[in-house]
Amino acid sequence: MTAQRVHTRRAGDPLVVVCAGGGGVGKTTTSAALALGLARQGRSTLIVTIDPARRLASAMGVALSDAVTTVPFAGTNGRLAALMPDPRRSMHAFVDQLFEGEPAARERLRDNRVYQGLADAAAGVHELVALNLVAAAASTGSFEVVVIDTAPSRQAIDFVTLPGRLAALLGGKTVAWLSGLATRSGEKDSTQARSGGLLAWGKGHLEHLIARAAGPYLVRDTAGLFIELALVRERFVHLTERASALLLGDRAAYVLVAAPTAAARDDVIFLAKRLEKLGRAPRALLMNRADTRPAPYVTALRSSANLSPALSDALDVLDEERKARGDSAAAMTRDLSRQLPSCPLIRLPFVEAYAAADVVHALSLELEAHHRALLPQ
Ligand SMILES: Nc1ncnc2c1ncn2[C@@H]1O[C@H](COP(=O)(O)OP(=O)(O)O)[C@@H](O)[C@H]1O
Ligand SMILES: [Mg+2]
């Protein structure tokens, strides 16, 4: 697979904004806020969360599912849709994607015990399924912008290279060799007969050992697995190349999200370095919870006529705490702009609200002035 092919862009591809950062900094909230604001301004927008947490789903009133779901919101002609795949059934969803045109092979695979074992244990598959769902949604041509909320981990950026790496692996010699071996018997009708090649290869010592360790079905089902995979190899490579083109093409931007804590700062610096390795510069840095304004109730109480001395003291304490938080946020912000000098930094306020949806709404208004700075150029 050449870089040329990976980066090929198709007409109608949406702009993609990938949000990455440490856990708890407000990635999910700010991603949703950005998507909401874009939709409000009339852009057809899809918000995707790869992060298995359910907060965004509940904040937006969307169920976890592999289907793109319209999010109802008042007062615009834009469209907001959400895609929040449930990580628990991802392997099956992936197989459905992969075996779309091969229903019989898909059923054989589902009965395959080696596959069943893999489906329970597979790591990284959730990301892959989610990306393929994103690519499929993007290729419908119905979205102008896709905002992707990544998992809260330092490896979150690496997932964008996963499709390409897997395609290279599955398109590579090892799989061809294994599936060739598995089909060598020449029989095409039943999985049992078709796996004769590998069975023959495994006869004797190796088969004996594996069978003793893991049960007699293992060799046959392992061979069967590769036969089924060989059937859909082309399709797999196609799906994953489509996802890579979307994420690594020139219409994708990476936005880092931080909060004013040392851990969040270190995560952002780490992610910026990972991006650099991928040949990308972060488009912008969102410093969440950077500005602390007085809570509305504090302002209201201060202006009330008969403020008791005790209440006045309590409000002074609140003010001092807010000022201390503000000072540390300012120091962290200065530190980050020194370390990432060419990355535009956007400050977001701490929102005094109880409901997650209210925080999303308030931040979407704050972000409206910055859409241009956050979207790919
Ligand atoms: N700017 C903000 N002001 C107030 N609360 C916020 C802000 N940003 C996020 N939150 C709240 O912090 C919590 C964690 O945010 P979340 O977006 O889920 O973080 P992450 O996705 O990075 O783990 C949520 O309850 C959210 O409502
Ligand atoms: Mg999150």
Distance in angstroms (rounded) separating the CA atoms of residues 334 and 273: 19
Distance in angstroms (rounded) separating the CA atoms of residues 76 and 73: 8
Q: Is the dihedral of CA 136, 138, 139, 142 positive or negative?
A: positive
pLDDT in tens, the chain (377 residues): 333 344 455 557 899 999 999 888 999 899 999 999 999 999 999 999 886 566 667 767 777 788 888 888 766 667 899 998 876 666 777 788 888 889 999 999 888 887 877 766 666 667 777 888 888 898 888 999 999 998 766 666 776 776 666 666 656 555 555 555 555 433 444 444 444 444 454 445 555 555 565 555 666 777 777 777 777 777 877 877 888 888 888 899 999 999 999 999 999 999 999 999 888 899 999 999 998 778 778 888 888 878 888 988 999 998 898 888 888 889 999 999 999 999 999 999 999 888 888 899 999 999 999 999 999 98
Instruction: Return the ligand number nearest the Cα of 60.
Output: 1
pLDDT of residue 364: 95
Ligand 1 centroid to Cα of residue 23, in Å, is: 10
Write the residue with the smallest CA distance to atom 9 of ligand 1: 26
Distance in angstroms (rounded) separating the CA atoms of residues 21 and 275: 12
Domain enclosing residue 147, as ranges: 3-374
Ligand 2 centroid to Cα of residue 214, in Å, is: 39
Write the residue with the smallest CA distance to atom 8 of ligand 1: 26
Is the distance from CB of 228 to CB of 112 less than 8 angstroms?
A: yes
pLDDT of residue 76: 61
Give the number of the atom of ligand 1 that is nearest the alpha carbon of residue 351.
Answer: 3
Ligand 1 centroid to Cα of residue 304, in Å, is: 31
Give the number of the atom of ligand 1 that is nearest the alpha carbon of residue 25.
Answer: 22
- Structure confidence by residue, pLDDT tens digits, 67-110: 888 888 766 667 899 998 876 666 777 788 888 889 999 999 88
| Pick from 198, 220, 239, 214: nearest CA to 98 | 239
Give the number of the atom of ligand 1 that is nearest the alpha carbon of residue 55.
Answer: 18
CA distances from 14 to 65, 117, 142, 187, 233 (A): 21, 37, 8, 46, 27
Tally of structural domains, the chain: 1
199: Cα separation from own chain's centroid? 40
243: Cα separation from own chain's centroid? 12
Distance in angstroms (rounded) separating the CA atoms of residues 79 and 122: 34
Ligand 1 centroid to Cα of residue 173, in Å, is: 46
- Please report the DSSP string for 326-377 in residue order: HHHHHHHHHHHHHHSTTS-EEEEEPP--SSHHHHHHHHHHHHGGGHHHHS--
Instruction: Return the ligand number nearest the Cα of 30.
Output: 1
CATH code at position 285: 3.40.50.300
Q: Is the dihedral of CA 176, 181, 185, 189 positive or negative?
A: negative
Give the number of the atom of ligand 1 that is nearest the alpha carbon of residue 289.
Answer: 1
Q: Rounded to the nearest 5°, which phi and psi values hold at 253?
A: -125, 150
Buried b (16+ CB within 10 A) or exposed e, 14-37: bbbbbbbbbeebbbbbbbbbbbbb
Q: Give the SS3 label for residue 123.
A: coil
Is the distance from CB of 250 to CB of 376 less than 8 angstroms?
A: yes
Write the residue with the smallest CA distance to atom 5 of ligand 1: 351
Distance in angstroms (rounded) separating the CA atoms of residues 1 and 239: 13
Distance in angstroms (rounded) separating the CA atoms of residues 21 and 255: 9
